[in-house]
Structure 1
Amino acid sequence: MAAETLRKRSGKDKGSSSTFKTTKTKKEKDKPGGINKWVAVLCAVLLTIALVRVLYIKPNNLTSQSYLPLVYPECCTGSEEQLSRLWGTYRPQVYFGIRPRIPESVIFGLMWMPVHNPEYVLNHDFRHTSEQSDLKSFTWTHHDGNRFGVQVLQDKGYILETSFAKTNVMLQDWSARVKVRATGAAESPQAIHLYWYLGIEHNQSKVRISRLPNGFSVYGETSELGKFHMRYKTVNADVKVMHNAYNCGENIPLHLLTDYVKGKLKPIPYTGRGPVVTPIIVAFDPASTACSESSNIVIMQLTLPLPAEVEIVYENLNIERTVTLEGAHFDDLISSYMSDFNKKFEEKFQLKSKGYTDDHLVFAKSTFSNLIGGIGYFYGRSIVKSSEVEKPIYYWPAALYSAVPSRSFFPRGFLWDEGFHQLLISKWDNNISLEVIGHWLNLMNADGWIPREQILGNEALMKVPKEFVVQNADYANPPTMFLALESMLTSMQPSEILDHHSTLKKVFHRLTMWYNWYNTTQVGPLPTTYRWRGRNGTTDRELNPKTLTSGLDDYPRATHPTDEEYHVDLRCWMAFASRSLTNLGDLLGINVDKYRETAEILSDNDLLKKLHWTGDYFADYGLHSEVVGLKNTRVAQNVVEKRRVVRKLPQPQFVKVQGYINLFPFILMILEPSSPELGHIFSTLKSDNYIWSPYGLCSVGRSDSYYLKYNTQHDAPYWRGPVWININFLAIRALDHYAKVEGPYKDLSAQLYTELRRNVVQNMYKEFTKTGFIWEQYNCKTGKGQSVHPFTGWSSLVVLIMGEQY
């Protein structure tokens, strides 16, 4: 068992030596001696079976689902609570898209293009997929993760607003509204092309379309949804429609939909009479034909003068209704939902009562809404490999309900990001968080491994560089789901825990399997040490070989990766996970003595200090050179590349890099409140040229040799200086903890908490006001937002920091 293994490795079993041993043991061969020959034959058979298991069963485990029951079904056909989330804006990879949480069903979405006089630029002005470079800003201003959402998108000379709302659970109707208005700037368009589409992810569906005086009517049927009716039309029937047409495509891959539509559009003269005089519009040929049985997409075009307003009404024809969700009824429902949202937001985060201004509330609500409004539903197969198979192979087809770090750059699920996401989402709705966590745990294979990056479906695949597609089953990622779950349980009422008891037990058993995978595959060379796998020990192109599996990518580790190194952050994650499993098991009435013992061993401050304390801070240990650099090197005729040069031979030693890694025993609250090492961290945190800044804690200290250093000829510093909000959140959370428990550093912790919290909030609010975006990271020298935007994944934790909800 896990605890027994650690006791033996730590030398705490009776009669064992307390000296750490690095020599690896080998299995001894059985010696038959004088035993019966039939016993020898039996041993040979057993050995053959064992070899078969190693050679064949192990690879099958890679792509076999865990034997444990699923936490939740892939489709939301379970409880009424799940069914209430059947429809949603679950397509974060596009600016506005709606789909049900049903694998291979139907999708809906919006494309648009402004009508400029006298020119049009199709490739530059066409909008569909979420991109960093298209719009001045795009943000959900309000989104509750389920019933409704309102989004504002600012482009060149115009503002487009989308809204979405649903009715009751059983009816399963929803409606959407699109409003467009010119800003009055010189570049403002005169009109807008709005393309609303319906895409079928498989061809076992029926669609029939017809024109309305001011739009279109579509009847459809799928095996999962039954019969439905959708209308796409102007809100005001008297508005002059400049052009309307539709196009049906057959067997069109939906991830290529943008290119398909652009390829079908062409400039045509506008001859209509109305308030707009524009010589050319971009349109489908109005002489389109009816959809055939093999059509899998329908795109409906309305070209309207500004201001323009259209609505999309989806009705489930399997149930009768008395009220249609359109017109004034839609407006009233949005208004009601908005009021509910504002009231609940204050109840949960109490920002008004803390004295924040209305502008701060706009910032906080937008930040939160973009995280929860960025939840998507994905379906597909991961491509995986391990040391047990020769070539990458496909995982089983699976669904994932998950938030995403960035709609524009990372519109897919990331394992360690998701734990941070659910810290905030669970404060809003435990049901959503539990289901997200359940979906992630459903992806566990028979060994207990979960792919750390989820690239499910062709749309997701299009956004991923080739080298990052294949997921390696030998590699881990920080188990931040334990963070989210522990936070969730502390805020749950006893009645809620009772209601979710069955689900939590399924979660617990999958978590133990996941935990045991870490505790057997990611162990280090010494007792109670751990090591991230996946580092490249042979490259000479990197200043310091990356450790992508740690989540900290290019953060400097030992310069020469070997199996003998061990990492302080992973040890702290395992200590935290052990403690969390213990707490959850106690809550559920499950015997967790083995995890409790493991937690005690890994939380032993003396042992932690012996393994990782340099005398000034906690650090990794490995084969490390303190003097390395990148140098221009001729690698071929007329080809010069930067290659690493080692100016001082590496030695087994602590990796004395000043930065985030030093803080993990503190930020994961492994250190005792009376620990002298904790006091040393607090007293040096604001030292000159260390990691303190007016904008938050910098990832690497300003005096460190790795500060802002490129890792290769082209790889700019990533975790080598910039301020990251997830680590700052953990630091602020830990400071709040140590400020509230008795200890010699209580007052100092409270002082640091107040300052660091103020610095992070003020800078993020300032950058949001200036740019309209939340950013992936912030410049350590200037506080400027940089890298990916919008990045409302873990950067949205600023809402919890503002509300002091940890």
Structure 2
Amino acid sequence: MILFLLIAVCFADDSLLWGQYRPNLLFGMRPNVPESLINGLSWFNSATINGITKVRHETENIPEIKKLAHSAYDVRLGGRQIIQDQGNALTLLTDLVKSEDGLAWELRITGKQHKDSIQSIIFYTGIEGHETKSDSSIQISKETKKNLSNKGISGDIEILGSDPTLGGKFRMVITEGEGEKPEHDHEHYDNKPPSNSFYAGLTVPTEMMWQMRKIYATMLQKEVQQFIEEYGDSSLDIPVYSIFSLNNQYKEGANVHLVQKTFQGDFSFNIKFHPADSLADKKKYAEFFDQPFKQRFTNLMLKQEDKFNNAYTLNKPFNEMMYHTFANELLSSVSGGIGFFHGDSVIDSDYGIAQSQPRSLFSGTPSRTFFPRGFYWDQGFTALSLKDYDPDLVLDMLVSWMDTMDDDGWIEREQILGDEGRSRVPEEFQVQSPEIANPPTLIMALSHLEFTPKQKKVLKKLYPKLRQHFDWFVTTQKGEIELYDREFHSDEVYRWRGKSAEHIFASGFDDYPRAPDISDGEIHVDLMSWVGASANSMAKIAEYLGKDEEAEMYMRIMNGVKTNLANNHWSDEYKSFCDIGVDDFEEDKHECHVGYVTLLPFALKLVEEDDAHLVDILEQIRDPEQLWSEYGVRSLSKSDEFFGTGENYWRGSIWVNVNYLILDALKHYSRPESIASFEVKTLSAEIYNELRRNLVDNVYKHWLKTNTVWESYDGLTGAQRGAKCFTGWTALTANIMFGEEITVTEPVEEVQEDEVTEKTEKTEESEQSEETEESTESEESTTDDDSEKADIESIEEEIEEEIEHEDL
């Protein structure tokens, strides 16, 4: 924890302080510090008594929520979220604008609904950890308290507070808003007229503050009971929005404050927050809020658009506006899915099941509706999604992940922190074991960043943790050599821990078919590949930091892995790199199920460029009876006996993250400077271009159809599968659109070496012969010249004699 605090201090950025860092809620805001001010939103249709059964708060996998996405969002600036709630006949927009320093913000809640529809909206705010913090407080202002009555509050509501995590005092205003209010002729209507806002102040233990929907439901029960006692049978004709409402009671020392508003038809209201520790603060942020919200929001959207366009270029055939909208929503939703989490976890330690010490994590999430927490290998792909858009943000998240590492170098593959985190996970999956690894994509992601001098300082401080984590990985996941009397080039052999008869959750490819027996003699080709790729990444980082000897050590590990893969894992029968198992006589045998596991040495670029097996791998990828489909590369061969069986999770469906790696490898082997054969380059380019189009077209088609992207896609039909809102790595579809189509130019005809030598010798002989001839000709020419000169002189003498004779 100390290391993270030191790094955080030197790399602190207030522009990241506030954000929608509660991704498990449909809308929730908080700062990225523990035990601080949290905010949330809830709503329900209050036109009928049945509306109370559809109170919205958490991002549950609700089919009636047809869209949950950020159309344009930047963690540092703000942006827009769209929620289409078909069950409540409501479209909700949450538009957030942050101040330039990141410390103040304004949120506009806009509702679009039928003119006769009635909606109740509840906003709440509260301070965590109030039980142990004497210097924090939160209460409604004196003016608001004066306006409070049993009938509610008219006008704006002001909340004042103080908390050390936010630098001192703060001020929040919930505006009265705009929109029609419903009317009713029941006498109870006058007791709680919806023209007012309803309010409640509560004292809630920190560990229960995340359960606001349950707390709200408990409060409503009391209100309904009182209504029935007072009106009896006449309760059949009731103004629902007046009964299902807060009690308008202020409680001294309350640490949570709720405000409820009811509207008929379209509506909007704003929530403003800013520090208020001094007069300078008040003046500074008054200027921020004085500018019309619409103008500030428009400026924000233009900034986000410029930042997106500066980071990315959409290339054909995806360089059209419709794909631009798609790509921006994908990457904005990745940013909108970033969360700040704090709490303990459940560990299977040497002393039995125990709670860890509380810790914090700043991380992306795979899916807000189904997996609203941090996953180790998903985070590496999230980092790849955003590395060109906001590399500082990516580095902050990776640093936070590394800070969760224990003293031995282990990082929990699934970060289930606190009671709130555990509430979304079945009990049998909550316990984490220090023996279980996960694909080390964090190291891979770090090696892809282009570091500025400031970032290099952070990386230098982070490097010892990276080294410790890598050491833990290769030590705990080591495979057996001596026990089975094996002949390997090096001892770089590895086996996933935690395998069961049906699963290896540690691998990430949960139900991918493996050897039917559980044996410590197995060697897993995908783990071998991850170690090799991680060693290569560590070598790059070490070299960048000037640690040449360590870089050489990591290169030796990578080369050892590559050699063992080539010598021991290749199967001529399956034309693939395969797992190694042991038979009844404890002899090695290949365990091969063609798919993502067997492709990983290729996908992580561990196959030498001049390896003859590359053609086999490429033809296998392109084979429609095995891995190729019109929608992407399948996770398991269509011809495999386990294709589409059992849970059918990683048994044939199409996953964008591995397709992204395959595309990256195809680009690598087709590049002009590669020593791969022309056949490999051409085939790689052809597959790359077609796969890129197929994958993007399918994800885009289902985004248009369903308003979201999905965990995976069917390997036969391309239909969506699994969890929706899966922007954790399906958002890499946008990055794939930023790539360019590949063209391979046919090389100039090569000449054999002996032919070159022969031609050279002939050329030299010819040149020597020409030189000799030239020399002879030159000598002959010289002789002729001398003879000619003598002849001329003789003639001249004769002429002179003749002249003299004539004179005589």
TM-score tier (shorter): 0.7 to 0.9
Query: SS where residue 427 of structure 1 aligns?
Result: coil
Which residue in 2 is equivalent to 1:17?
none
Q: Is the 8 A contact 1:403 1:413 kept in 2?
A: yes
CA distance in 1, matches of 2:558, 2:180: 73
Which residue in 2 is equivalent to 1:34?
none
> Deviation string for 1:627-673 (max 9, x for gaps)?
xxxxxxxxxxxxxxxxxxxxxx9985211212111101100000111
Instruction: Report the alpha carbon displacement of residue 287 of structure 1 after superposing the two structures with TM.
Output: 5.0
Q: Is the 8 A contact 2:127 2:138 kept in 1?
A: no
**2:556 alignment partner, one of 584, 593, 598:** 598
Matches of residues 750-769 of structure 1 in structure 2 within 5 Å? Answer: 750-769=685-704
Tell whether 2:123 aligns with 1:196: yes
Point out where structure 1 has 5 or more consecutive residues left out of the alignment.
1-64, 272-276, 537-543, 626-648, 711-715
CA distance in 1, matches of 2:542, 2:116: 61
Point out where structure 2 has 5 or more consecutive residues left out of the alignment.
148-152, 183-193, 232-236, 482-490, 742-808
CA distance in 1, matches of 2:555, 2:327: 41
Amino acid at match of 1:257: M
Amino acid at match of 1:702: K
Q: Is the 8 A contact 2:138 2:161 kept in 1?
A: yes
Which residue in 1 is equivalent to 2:613?
677
1:285–1:619 distance in 2 versus 1, CA, 3 Å: closer
**2:256 alignment partner, one of 275, 290, 297:** 297
Tell whether 2:294 aligns with 1:331: yes
Instruction: Report the alpha carbon displacement of residue 282 of structure 1 after superposing the two structures with TM.
Output: 5.3
Tell whether 2:195 aligns with 1:242: yes
Q: Is the 8 A contact 1:135 1:155 kept in 2?
A: yes
Tell whether 2:640 aligns with 1:704: yes
> Deviation string for 1:38-60 (max 9, x for gaps)?
xxxxxxxxxxxxxxxxxxxxxxx
Matches of residues 94-133 of structure 1 in structure 2 within 5 Å? Answer: 94-116=25-47, 118-123=48-53, 125-133=54-62
Instruction: Report the alpha carbon displacement of residue 328 of structure 1 after superposing the two structures with TM.
Output: 5.0
**2:159 alignment partner, one of 213, 218, 241:** 218
CA distance in 1, matches of 2:551, 2:259: 62
Query: SS where residue 104 of structure 1 aligns?
Result: coil
Which residue in 1 is equivalent to 2:705?
770
Which residue in 1 is equivalent to 2:268?
309
Matches of residues 338-737 of structure 1 in structure 2 within 5 Å? Answer: 338-351=301-314, 355-386=318-349, 389-489=350-450, 492=451, 496=452, 498-526=453-481, 527-536=491-500, 544-591=501-548, 592-605=550-563, 607-615=564-572, 616-623=575-582, 652-710=588-646, 716-737=647-668
Q: Is the 8 A contact 1:71 1:506 kept in 2?
A: no
Query: SS where residue 13 of structure 2 aligns?
Result: helix
Query: SS where residue 459 of structure 2 aligns?
Result: helix
> Deviation string for 1:195-250 (max 9, x for gaps)?
11012212233222225633421111223221111111234499785342111222
Amino acid at match of 1:726: N
Q: Is the 8 A contact 1:207 1:291 kept in 2?
A: no
1:657–1:237 distance in 2 versus 1, CA, 3 Å: closer
Amino acid at match of 1:569: D
Query: SS where residue 585 of structure 1 aligns?
Result: helix
Q: Is the 8 A contact 2:341 2:361 kept in 1?
A: yes
Which residue in 2 is equivalent to 1:320?
282
User: Whose radius of gyration is greater, 1 or 2?
Assistant: 2
> Deviation string for 1:736-783 (max 9, x for gaps)?
111112311111100000011111100000000000111001011111
> Deviation string for 1:614-638 (max 9, x for gaps)?
111111011479xxxxxxxxxxxxx
CA distance in 2, matches of 1:692, 1:329: 54
Moved more, 320-329 or 693-702: 320-329
CA distance in 2, matches of 1:102, 1:584: 29
> Deviation string for 1:48-107 (max 9, x for gaps)?
xxxxxxxxxxxxxxxxx7xxx624559x6554x522211111110001111011111120
Instruction: Report the alpha carbon displacement of residue 251 of structure 1 after superposing the two structures with TM.
Output: 2.6
CA distance in 2, matches of 1:282, 1:678: 71
CA distance in 1, matches of 2:317, 2:625: 33
CA distance in 2, matches of 1:722, 1:600: 30
Tell whether 2:80 aligns with 1:163: no
Q: Is the 8 A contact 2:127 2:137 kept in 1?
A: no
CA distance in 2, matches of 1:101, 1:348: 25
Greater relative contact order structure (CA < 8 Å, 6+ sep): 1
CA distance in 2, matches of 1:247, 1:402: 33
Query: SS where residue 664 of structure 1 aligns?
Result: helix
Larger helix percent? 2
Which residue in 2 is equivalent to 1:644?
none
Instruction: Report the alpha carbon displacement of residue 175 of structure 1 after superposing the two structures with TM.
Output: 1.0
> Deviation string for 1:523-567 (max 9, x for gaps)?
11122210000013xxxxxxx420000111111111101111000
1:329–1:623 distance in 2 versus 1, CA, 3 Å: farther
Amino acid at match of 1:429: D
1:146–1:336 distance in 2 versus 1, CA, 3 Å: same
Q: How many residues align?
A: 679
1:613–1:734 distance in 2 versus 1, CA, 3 Å: same
> Deviation string for 1:263-295 (max 9, x for gaps)?
2125679x9xxxxx99432556565322221x2
Which residue in 2 is equivalent to 1:45?
none
Instruction: Report the alpha carbon displacement of residue 429 of structure 1 after superposing the two structures with TM.
Output: 0.7
1:154–1:278 distance in 2 versus 1, CA, 3 Å: farther
Matches of residues 77-88 of structure 1 in structure 2 within 5 Å? Answer: 78-79=10-11, 81-88=12-19
Q: Is the 8 A contact 2:82 2:92 kept in 1?
A: yes
Query: SS where residue 393 of structure 1 aligns?
Result: strand
Instruction: Report the alpha carbon displacement of residue 467 of structure 1 after superposing the two structures with TM.
Output: 1.1
Which residue in 2 is equivalent to 1:785?
720
Amino acid at match of 1:218: I
Amino acid at match of 2:313: Q
Which residue in 1 is equivalent to 2:681?
746
Instruction: Report the alpha carbon displacement of residue 305 of structure 1 after superposing the two structures with TM.
Output: 2.1
Q: Is the 8 A contact 1:349 1:805 kept in 2?
A: no
CA distance in 1, matches of 2:211, 2:413: 26
Amino acid at match of 1:614: S
CA distance in 2, matches of 1:286, 1:557: 56
**Percent pairwise identity:** 31
Amino acid at match of 1:394: Q
Matches of residues 57-72 of structure 1 in structure 2 within 5 Å? Answer: 70-72=3-5
CA distance in 2, matches of 1:434, 1:687: 39
Q: Is the 8 A contact 1:149 1:373 kept in 2?
A: no
Q: RMSD value over aligned CA atoms?
A: 2.4
Which residue in 1 is equivalent to 2:68?
138
Query: SS where residue 84 of structure 1 aligns?
Result: helix
